[in-house]
Amino acid sequence: MAELNTRNGQVVGSALATRVQTGIRIAGRGGQGVMLAGLLVAQAAIDDGLEVVQTQSYGPEARLGAAKSDVILSHEPIAYPEIGAPDLFLCLSHDAFTAYGHDIAPNTRLIMDARAARGLDVGEAVLVPMVDTARDCGAIIAANIVGLGFLVGMTDVVSERSLRRALAARARPESLESNMRALDAGLALAAERRL
Amino acid sequence: MRHGEHLRAYLREEAMPNVWCPGCGHGNVMGALTRTFDRMQLDLDATVVIGGIGCASRMPFFLNTNAMHTTHGRALTFATGVKLARPELTVLAVMGDGDALAIGGNHLIHACRRNIDVTALVLNNGIYGMTGGQLAPSTPQSFRSTTSALGSIESPFDTVELALAAGATYVARATTFDFDEMPQMIEAAIRHPGFALVEILSQCPTYFGRLNKLGDGRALLDYERDHTAPLEGITREELAGQLPIGVFREEIRPEYTRQYAALCDRARRAGNG
Amino acid sequence: MQQLIQGNEACALGAVAAGCSFFAGYPITPSSEIMEWMSRLLPPRGGVFIQMEDELSSMGAVIGASWTGAKAMTATSGPGFTLMQEHIGYAAMTETPCVIVDGQRVGPSTGMPTSPAQGDVMQARWGSHGDRAAIALTASSVLDTYTMTIEAFNMSERYRLPVVLLLDATLAHMRENVILPDIPIVNRSRPGSIDDFAPFGSPEFLPLGAGARFTVSGLSHDEAGHQRAAKSDAGERLTRRAIERVAADAERITLTRQEALDDAELVLVAYGITARAARAAVHQLRAEGIPAGLLELQTLWPFPAELVGSVARNARAVVVAELNLGQVVTLVSAVAGTTPVHHLGRMDGALLEPDAIAAAGRTALHDAVQEVGAAR
Ligand SMILES: Cc1ncc(C[n+]2csc(CCOP(=O)(O)OP(=O)(O)O)c2C)c(N)n1
Ligand code: SF4
Ligand SMILES: [Mg+2]
């Protein structure tokens, strides 16, 4: 976790003031692969030797409208399982921002689909054309993977290698190729912008 | 040995005397069961009789088989667990009408639907005997009970129609008057590879008889005779208010525990899990 | 190998590892995934899975299966747990080993189906009518869920009791990385000979169909299974014996995690998911120089009164944190002597946060010190 040794603004941060842990929220419309994206980050983090807690929205909440998957990554055992204000917020849809944007703290880094951000006050969000890029990769449904690629490319929260391995293990065989293309595209977008 | 004395082997002497009132029909049913077990030479060690709660459901205590006396209305749920976990056992559930049709009605229809190889005996005396003669879901309209002193305004369940509709694959009705036919139906039900239900009209002189001024146990047996008619060769019209007696359905459909065993084989071959 | 698994999945895997070969259940959030997993895990292993028509029947089938010798379980949540109570009592009365998992959600009634709570603590002990021996366990992590499920089976087999494992909606659905450990399994002990064996009141278990024919009944009965339904001490004798079996082994049954208690002036008592926030609060308070410690109760029933009492009496203040409006706190208060016991609870569907627990702890300790000062 080279760049983002951020501490969580509120609860967890103060509770674990001496620890290094990162809270990631991935949110989007139901069907955008938010759960899968969360599982991929979590799985990759485990391969990198980190401790992980993953939670997600359930029930009607997860089927209609917006859905979220929260992942905490840490070098040490994770006590409190909720992320509070996320350090990283990957947002794929307009509705998801409305539903889950309220947890954002000043130090939350928001990465948002460029189209979905239209008409929203998203502050200093990093806008990324996730859906458009996924469409160019031949799988509009892989916007989540473009976003993940960008997030990892920009922050190194998990290693690219572990993420690829997690994707290879979890993606359906028939969609693996387009997913890998989407991942590469996301990483490339990050490389362009990397500070 | 006196005639019938050998049947004592099917009773648990140390649990006697039984709890039933003189003239109670539940004893007639237990007698029929001992004769059935004897005729079938049933392996008592591999037989489990499961009752719910009520006068009828006390029967497991007095039979010399493996026995469970469970909770009101739920005998069939325990029977389902026993049978599924050890399909080689012969499992009977003995229930009262309140047991099977009121509090346990849901379990009854689902056991019928699953077609699990359990024999259900519903001892229908039209009343709640054990708790003192209250209205049952089988009490005939206008009949009296301690909670329907002016006569019941409810329509009773027809146990047979209910079991048929719910998918039981052996369905029969007998009365305690039918000394020979009742054990024959019970035997056919036990032999039947699927869910089998025998409704047995039984007499409760203490409450049903007394509250409805129908007399003692013997008088109630006559009452049963006069208000039922053999199913064969009779039309609905000809029944004229009498309840048909006989075997309503006997058909073979895939049985639950066998289907489950096949499913396990499939799962094993697929190597999943 | 590190695996990423969900709490409910860990529960199902634990059950199978413990030797569970029978599951009956009825779908309910947040526990349905346990039965979904069991429906996949059991058939290829030759075990039985059945989805019943409700929770009463699920528990009935579990008890029936257990009496054939199978290790049997069900999983549910509040509304279903309430429906199961009559049969949990029956299992206690008949000394039937079985496991009931209750993924707690906010109640009463339908409440908040997807939100965590810890409101079933008392129901796990007293939900069924009458007195009885009871064991109820908790878990605070996905790994814990696996090991405590196995513990639940082991205890149910060893003591011939229905054992309740209390989870919650958060734990049920969250995923963590775990390495599943090998845990020793307890199998039901059978009597050496069936001649003259009394089927009740003994830690040994003789299933139905094993050659000795007797009646299993929820009526008060004696050691042989004969009903003693009126004016008899047989039922009390057997219930006392079951309670004593548990009491005699209390040390082995009452599991706790103790953290930084040696010099703790402030003791936080918590269990299940809330123990994690309490642990974070202890770290936070220690970082501030406040001598705080944590007592995590992994076993709620039998309640470890002696241990809790001595820990509490050695402290200046105690805070009990739980997702209800005051259940375990009543037990802690009863044994804390003169040490003030504070309660921090909620039932709005959110977890107690470390900050809130730390703040309650700070205030509790501050007040206790002030009071002593004032008394001087
Ligand atoms: C949950 C529950 N509710 C009520 C009772 C009380 N109770 C015991 S037996 C019975 C009715 C018995 O009637 P039936 O099933 O017709 O059997 P019978 O006594 O007539 O043979 C009732 C209501 C009970 N034991 N448990
Ligand atoms: S009350 Fe009725 S059903 Fe019960 S034993 Fe007496 S006669 Fe039989
Ligand atoms: Mg009756």
Residue A13: the pLDDT is 30
Domain boundary among C253, C268, C296: C253
Ligand 3 ion local residues (Cβ < 5 A): B 96-97, 125
How many Å lie between the alpha carbon of C219 and the closest alpha carbon of chain B?
8
Average pLDDT estimate for A47-71: 86
Residue A20: the pLDDT is 79
**Which H or E run includes B121?**
strand B119-124
Q: What is the mean pLDDT of chain A?
A: 87
Residues with Cβ < 8 Å from A195, sequence gap 6 or more? none
How high is the ipTM of this complex?
Answer: 0.95
For atom 5 of ligand 2, the residue with the nearest CA is B20
Give yes or no for a cis peptide into B137 (omega within 30° of 0): no
DSSP letter string, B10-68: GB-GGG-S-SPPTT-HHHHHHHHHHHHHHHHT--GGGEEEEE-SSTGGGGGGGBSSEEE
User: In chain B, which residue's Cα lies nearest the Cα of C68?
Assistant: B82
Q: What is the pLDDT of residues A129-178, one digit of tens each?
A: 999 999 999 888 999 999 999 999 999 999 999 999 999 999 999 999 99
pTM of the model: 0.95
Domain boundary among C253, C287, C309: C253
Residue A59: the pLDDT is 65
Of C29, C31, C28, which is closest to residue C10 (Cα–Cα)?
A: C31
Q: CA C87 to CA C333: how far, in whole Å?
A: 31
Q: What is the pLDDT of residues B158-168, one digit of tens each?
A: 999 999 999 99
Please answer whether residues C334 and C258 qualify as being in contact, where contact means their C-beta atoms are separated by less than 8 angstroms. Answer: no
Measured CA distances, B160 to B169, B242, B255 (Å):
11, 14, 20
Encode A129-171 in three state secondary structure.
CHHHHHHHCCCHHHHHHHHHHHHHHHHCCCCHHHHHHHHHHHC
CA-atom Rg of chain B in angstroms: 19
User: Residue C303: which CATH number?
Assistant: 3.40.50.920
Average pLDDT estimate for B11-23: 94
Which atom of ligand 2 has the smallest separation from the CA of B20? 5
Q: What is the pLDDT of residues B189-231, one digit of tens each?
A: 999 999 999 999 999 999 999 999 999 999 999 999 999 999 9
- Using the beta-carbon criterion (under 8 Å), do B89 and C209 form an inter-chain contact? yes
Domain boundary among C223, C253, C283: C253
Q: CA C25 to CA A57: how far, in whole Å?
A: 24
| Structure token pair of residue C10 | 């860990």
C278 and C245 housed in the same domain: no
pLDDT-wise least confident of B55-69, B86-100, C221-235, C288-302: C221-235
| C-beta of B126 in contact with ligand 1 (< 6 A) | no
Q: How far is the CA of C69 from the centre of ligand 1 (A)?
A: 29
C116 and C245 housed in the same domain: yes
Q: CA A112 to CA A89: how far, in whole Å?
A: 8
CATH superfamily, domain at A19-194: Pyruvate-ferredoxin oxidoreductase, PFOR, domain III (3.40.920.10)
First to last CA, chain A: 16
Question: Closest partner residue to C277 among A14, A42, A80, by Cβ?
Answer: A80
Distance of CA C167 to the CA centre of its chain: 8
Q: CA C326 to CA C332: how far, in whole Å?
A: 11
User: In chain B, which residue's Cα lies nearest the Cα of C38?
Assistant: B273
pLDDT at B239 over 70: yes
CA angle C163, C181, C203 (to 5 degrees): 35
The domain tally of chain C equals: 2
pLDDT at A6 over 50: no
For atom 6 of ligand 2, the residue with the nearest CA is B21
pLDDT at A5 over 90: no
Identify the domain containing residue B81 by its residue range: 5-270
Question: Closest partner residue to A43 among C4, C29, C169, by Cβ?
Answer: C4
Dihedral sign computed on CA atoms, order B157, B160, B165, B168: positive
C103 and C204 housed in the same domain: yes
C226 and C356 housed in the same domain: no
DSSP 8-state code for residue C221: B
Residue B57: the pLDDT is 98
User: Residue B181: which CATH number?
Assistant: 3.40.50.970
C10 and C113 housed in the same domain: yes
Q: Mutation test of the interface with chain C: which of B45, B55, B78, choosing the one with the most C Cβ atoms within 10 A?
A: B78
Question: Chains meeting C at 3+ CB pairs closer than 8 A?
Answer: A, B
CB proximity A16 to C under 8 Å: yes
Q: CA A34 to CA A147: how far, in whole Å?
A: 10
Q: CA B57 to CA A104: how far, in whole Å?
A: 63
Q: Where are the beta strands (DSSP E) in C209-298?
A: 215-217, 256-259, 266-270, 292-297
Please name every residue paired with C344 in a beta bridge, in sequence order, or none if there are none.
C321
Residue C271: the pLDDT is 98
The domain tally of chain B equals: 1
C281 and C235 housed in the same domain: no
pLDDT at B176 over 90: yes
CB-count burial class (<10 Å; 0-12, 13-18, 19+) for C3: middle
- Count CB atoms within 10 A of the CB of residue C94: 25
Residue A15: the pLDDT is 29
Q: Which residues of chain C have pLDDT under 70?
A: 376
Touching, A vs C (3+ Cβ pairs under 8 A): yes
Q: CA C370 to CA C160: how far, in whole Å?
A: 50
C270 and C176 housed in the same domain: no
Identify the domain containing residue C166 by its residue range: 1-253
Please answer whether residues A150 and A186 qualify as being in contact, where contact means their C-beta atoms are separated by less than 8 angstroms. Answer: yes
Residue A62: the pLDDT is 58
Q: Where are the domains of chain A?
A: 19-194
Q: What is the dihedral of CA C36, C40, C46, C51, to 10 degrees?
A: 30
User: Residue C62: which CATH number?
Assistant: 3.40.50.970
Q: CA B90 to CA B87: how far, in whole Å?
A: 8
C109 and C166 housed in the same domain: yes
Question: Chains meeting B at 3+ CB pairs closer than 8 A?
Answer: C
